[in-house]
Structure 1
């Protein structure tokens, strides 16, 4: 019997930038992506893994800044077990490939073709690298087409979307049924895939997996009725294969290694209690300096509740890595009642100006070309007038 344990990861995308992060948060995000790779190395030692496979998109692209590339290569060099890198669509193996910079680094290997690579006696890797940014055929099927069954443990490493698991409709989609059939014959025993950033099994056989990115890169949308996006990233997979003859048993364990949270949130608000709920939900996030929230608010609020909401959000914006509104989905309207207006310490022209601004900020006024921008400006003016009235009272 042949036994091996290894780590499956993908989509490190070292050098990734996020436009919604301020510079200091981007710096921490860069560091977190490197630290995730280090934690994968530590996981390999803890679980007795013999090697690590990175199933594509090791780098964000082929032209990283020297400092970014240098730090990335250093973290790969320091991994405690050999690491095998597959070129993906972000870093295809083209003439100016970034993988040329990995040459000569001990323990770092590039799966640049589909010739089986012997990790050690009885354990092989077969790569399906991208040689162009966009594949024109199923590279995984092509990589194993001429392979015969083997008593060695054989792992296929590929990158791309799979039939039945994405919205794309191209000849490059990976045929999962083809891979399962090859696994049942002993041609391959496990398929390590990359491209999708969420961890997911792709076959009832348990032998074909997306590892997902080891550090979160995009939003998990918690909007009621949506619940989509990057739903389960920040993991690495510990894969154990036992093979006797042509028959293999595969066990896969998902292990969290990431530290960042990206979420899309939505709330309906109508009064001060709803505002308090929004703020309580945001304050409940434990690691705000590693949390990115984009949010939408719908409903109507009075002057006091609006002022409280904006004050609290303003304070939290400085604590989160990023906290910002989804302007396209925002539908929050200012609608003070008569009692609120009467209690304002405003008279004469100021009071009439307030009423006029409130009319300009109404949902009706916001409709039509340019209406939302005018309504937003009116809301800003209302808040300023409201604050001044309170300060001078």
Structure 2
């Protein structure tokens, strides 16, 4: 009863320039840890092989250190690994793969499927039919030759490819590296292991995307898993189970604040996130000065608690209530400044001037905040 682990889209060498250096470094490190976790899973579940369906590396130009660290991270599983070049790490004449071989970094139990063909794992009962990308984009279906590839009748026929199943994926990504949705039928495959879509996705009972084992973007598409596939014998229906490997959860929230309860609910949701969270907030609507102070305080606590927190307040307007102004004791000249800032913000609504007025209101509120209120908090 052959069993294998299906994974893809490791994107090793990826950088996170939008984050602070400390957070970016932690996110990079999590990707190496994900490889170690999936190797441990393969060992724990007594898998016969690990199949990596493309984009092991994020670019051809990754450092030698990255190459060595990737292969070192696979050491937790001693069985065979079959790695396929994808669009980010295509098998060019001179590529990250040829460099890895020159470095002597590729372990003996790792098979690099750099050419279209069959890798027969006789002891494991598996024949891997590979369709590597030899350039970043192709417009023909590289899995078409699978139908002509011969394998021993007692071996599972497992396809390994990287691309877009035509007509079944969202976001209009059907333009390059096409794969026919009926390839398992036309090529008599027991299973087709795919990469390129970064979340777990079932195409049919024999065709799956595993997604990336560690999320790297804000997209709710079931990223952060690997698949363990159990097939009793050639022709049997695959039993596919997904196993979580992600360390960090990525959340992107677009929130409109209209009434105080909107803010209260948002702050409760922020407080309930797991510590291994990457949170990106984009806020619009209106806030009172008291609400703005409360939001600032909660975000400050969250920034220290979670892996990363970013918040875009450019769509927010501050609307001080009479109670806000009374608590600030902004009489005379200060009261006039507060009123001018309110009017400036409301007059422009959007753009740099509105942002300056909004920020100035927030800063002024913080400076004028009663000392007893600060002590109470």
After superposition, where does 1:154-193 map in structure 2 within 5 Å?
154-166=157-169, 167-170=172-175, 172-182=177-187, 187-193=188-194
Q: Which residue of 1 aligns with 2:296?
A: 310
Q: Deviations over 1:54-93 (max 9, x none)?
A: 0000011111123322212211345322111000001000
SS state at 1:158 partner: strand
- C-alpha displacement at 1:149, in angstroms? 7.4
Distance 1:302 1:342 in 2: 13
- Map 1:26-41 → 2, pairs under 5 A: 26-41=24-39
The corresponding residue for 2:359 is 380
Could you give the per-residue CA deviations for residues 150-171 of structure 1, whole angstroms, max 9, x where no partner exists?
Answer: 5221111000111122313436
Who is 1:46 aligned against?
44
Residue equivalent to 1:71? 69
**Distance change in 2, residues 1:344/1:14 (3 Å):** same
- What do the CA deviations read for 1:189-214 (whole angstroms, capped 9, x no partner)? 110000011001111xx100000001
Conserved 8 A contact 2:318-2:361 = no
Work out the CA distance in 1 between the residues paired with 2:151 and 2:60: 36
Map residues 96-107 of structure 1 onto 2, 5 A cutoff.
96-100=94-98, 101-102=100-101, 105-107=107-109
1:90-239 alignment, distance < 5 Å = 90-100=88-98, 101-102=100-101, 105-120=107-122, 122-141=125-144, 143-148=145-150, 151=153, 152-166=155-169, 167-170=172-175, 172-182=177-187, 187-203=188-204, 206-219=205-218, 229-239=219-229
Is the Cα contact below 8 Å between 1:271 and 1:302 reproduced in 2?
no
Paired residues for 1:272-283 under 5 Å: 272-283=260-271
- For residues 197 and 213 of structure 1, the distance between their equivalents in structure 2, rounded to whole angstroms, comes to 5
Task: Give the TM-score, by structure 1 length.
Answer: 0.86
- 2: CA distance, partners of 1:340 / 1:326: 23
Question: Does the 8 A contact of 1:20 with 1:322 survive in 2?
Answer: no
Task: Report the Cα distance in structure 2 between the residues aligned to 1:216 and 1:146, rounded to whole angstroms.
Answer: 36
Following superposition of structure 1 onto structure 2, how do residues 51-62 of structure 1 map, counting pairs within 5 Å?
51-62=49-60
Mind listing any 5+ residue stretches in structure 2 that lack a counterpart? 373-377
Alpha-carbon distance between aligned partners in 2 of 1:171 and 1:41, rounded to the nearest angstrom: 31
Could you list the per-position Cα deviations for residues 93-125 of structure 1 after superposition, in whole angstroms to 9, with x for gaps in the alignment? 012211121455211110111221111154211
How many residues align? The count is 364
Query: Which range moved further: 353-362 or 19-28?
Result: 19-28
In the alignment, is the contact (CA less than 8 A) between 1:154 and 1:189 conserved in 2?
yes
Deviations 1:234-273 (A, max 9, x none): 11111111225xx333111111111111111133323444
Secondary structure class of the residue paired with 1:239: strand
Other structure's SS at 1:70 match: helix
Instruction: Tell me, yes or no, if structure 1 residue 333 matches structure 2 residue 312.
Output: no
Matched, 1:298 2:284: yes
Q: Conserved in 2, the CA contact under 8 Å of 1:10 and 1:214?
A: yes
How many angstroms apart in 1 are the aligned matches of 2:75 and 2:46? 19
